[in-house]
C-alpha cells in the first residue's frame, strides 16, 4: 500500500510539472474532475477569409466633378499690344481681315468664334488659355508692322529741328506725324511713305500750297486735304492707306489714313509752316 500511494503521488507531481492532465476514460481526470479547456490566441491564418466568402468593401461614392472654365486671356473691351498680337495672329490664319487695331471689338470676337468652332472648342468669342495656345501654335510671332498694319504705333522722339515754330514733324522710323507748335505736340497720326522707286524726300521744307479736294494730274487719284511741301509731294489723306494699311505705298507723298485727324490738321496748318521729314 505504501508503494502504491507513493506511485500515485509521483505521477501527480510529474503531471503538474509537464503541464499535462491524467485523463480518465470518461474525459475526466484521475480524480473525476471535468477537463479544463484553454483558449489559445488564433494565428493570423485562422482569421483570414477565403476569397469565396470575402465581403468586398463598398466603393466610395464619386463626388461631383466641378468644371473650372479656362483662364480668359483677352475679352471684349480689352486694349493694348496683347490684343494687337491676337489680331495679327488671327489675320495670319485668315480669320480676321481688319486691323490690328489694338481694341477687342465685335469683329475680333467673331473671328475668335470662327477659330474656336473650327477646332471644336466652345464658341464663346473670348480668347481663353486653350484658344490662345492653339492659335500661337499655328502662327508666327508678328513683327512690328504686322502689329501696326493699320497704324496706331507710338511716335518717335521729335527731331531737334521740330522744336521751334509750327512744324509737321514726320518720322520715317516710327511712320508717324507730329503736329507741333513751339515744341509742344498738338496731335499725332500714323503716316505712310513712298514706295521703293518713288521715295519721300527727307529734309526741311515748307508748306507752299493747300488743296482741299485735290486730284493728282499725274496718277489721276484723289488727294484730299493735300498740303504740298516739295514739288508734287504732299501730306494728304489716302483712301488706299485707310483700306490696306502698310500693305501699300504712295508715289512719294506722305499718306494719312485717319480722315478726321487730317481734316482737323488741314484746318490748322498755314502756308509757310515748316515740314521736317527725318529717319
- Which one of 1.10.1040.50, 3.30.750.24, 1.10.101.10, 3.50.30.50 gives the CATH number of domain 72-147? 1.10.101.10
What's the whole-model pTM score? 0.70
Q: How far apart are the C-alpha atoms of 103 and 96, rounded to whole Å?
A: 13
| Torsion, Cα of 204, 207, 213, 214 (10° steps) | -60
State CA 243 to chain mean position distance.
Answer: 28
- The 8-class DSSP code of residue 242 comes to H
Q: Are strands 166-171 and 127-128 parallel, antiparallel or unpaired?
A: unpaired
DSSP 3-18: HHHHHHHHHHHHHHHT
State CA 66 to chain mean position distance.
Answer: 24
Helix (H, G, I), strand (E, B) or coil at 269: coil
All residues at 6 or more sequence positions from 268 whose CB lies less than 8 Å from its CB, including other chains: 179, 186
Grid coordinates representing 178 are 507730329
Q: How far apart are the first and last CA of the chain?
A: 142
Q: Among candidates 64, 257, 53, which has minimal Cα distance to 152?
A: 257
Grid coordinates representing 191 are 503716316
Under-70 pLDDT residues of the chain? 1-68
Residue 100, preceding bond cis, omega within 30 degrees? yes
List, by residue range, all CATH 1.10.101.10 domains of the chain: 72-147
List, by residue range, all CATH 2.40.440.10 domains of the chain: 160-278
pLDDT for residue 56: 56
pLDDT for residue 64: 42
All residues at 6 or more sequence positions from 261 whose CB lies less than 8 Å from its CB, including other chains: 187, 189
Grid coordinates representing 60 are 466610395
Length of the chain: 279
DSSP 126-170: SEEHHHHHHHHHHSPPP-HHHHTTTS-PPPPPPPGGGSSSEEEEE
Grid coordinates representing 14 are 510529474
Domain 160-278 sits in CATH at 2.40.440.10
C-beta neighbour count of 271 within 10 angstroms: 11
C-beta neighbour count of 250 within 10 angstroms: 24
Question: Residues 153, 190: contact at Cβ < 8 Å?
Answer: yes
pLDDT for residue 58: 54
Q: Are strands 176-181 and 233-237 parallel, antiparallel or unpaired?
A: unpaired
pLDDT for residue 70: 84
Amino acid at each position: 500500500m505504501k508503494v502504491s500511494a507513493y506511485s500515485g503521488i509521483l505521477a501527480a507531481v510529474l503531471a503538474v510539472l509537464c503541464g499535462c492532465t491524467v485523463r480518465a476514460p470518461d474525459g475526466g481526470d484521475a480524480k473525476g474532475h471535468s477537463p479544463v479547456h484553454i483558449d489559445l490566441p488564433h494565428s493570423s491564418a485562422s482569421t483570414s477569409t477565403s476569397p469565396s466568402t470575402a465581403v468586398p468593401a463598398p466603393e466610395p461614392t464619386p463626388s461631383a466633378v466641378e468644371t473650372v472654365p479656362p483662364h480668359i486671356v483677352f475679352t471684349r473691351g480689352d486694349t493694348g499690344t496683347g490684343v494687337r498680337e491676337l489680331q495679327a495672329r488671327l489675320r495670319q490664319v485668315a480669320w480676321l481681315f481688319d486691323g490690328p487695331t489694338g481694341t477687342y471689338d465685335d469683329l475680333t470676337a467673331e473671328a475668335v468664334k470662327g477659330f474656336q468652332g473650327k477646332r471644336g472648342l466652345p464658341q464663346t468669342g473670348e480668347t481663353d488659355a486653350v484658344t490662345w495656345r492653339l492659335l500661337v501654335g499655328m502662327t508666327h510671332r508678328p513683327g512690328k508692322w504686322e502689329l501696326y498694319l493699320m497704324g496706331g504705333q507710338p511716335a518717335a522722339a521729335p527731331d531737334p529741328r521740330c522744336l521751334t515754330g509750327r512744324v509737321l514733324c514726320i518720322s520715317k522710323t516710327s511712320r508717324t506725324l507730329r503736329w507741333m507748335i513751339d515744341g509742344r505736340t498738338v496731335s499725332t497720326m500714323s503716316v505712310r511713305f513712298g514706295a521703293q522707286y518713288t521715295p519721300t524726300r527727307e529734309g526741311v521744307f515748307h508748306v507752299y500750297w493747300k488743296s482741299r479736294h485735290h486730284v493728282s494730274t499725274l496718277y489721276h487719284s484723289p488727294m484730299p486735304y493735300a498740303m504740298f511741301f516739295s514739288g508734287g509731294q504732299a501730306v494728304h489723306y489716302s483712301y488706299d492707306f485707310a483700306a490696306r494699311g502698310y500693305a501699300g505705298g504712295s508715289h512719294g507723298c506722305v499718306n494719312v489714313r485717319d480722315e478726321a485727324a487730317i481734316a482737323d490738321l488741314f484746318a490748322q496748318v498755314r502756308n509757310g509752316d515748316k515740314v521736317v521729314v527725318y529717319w
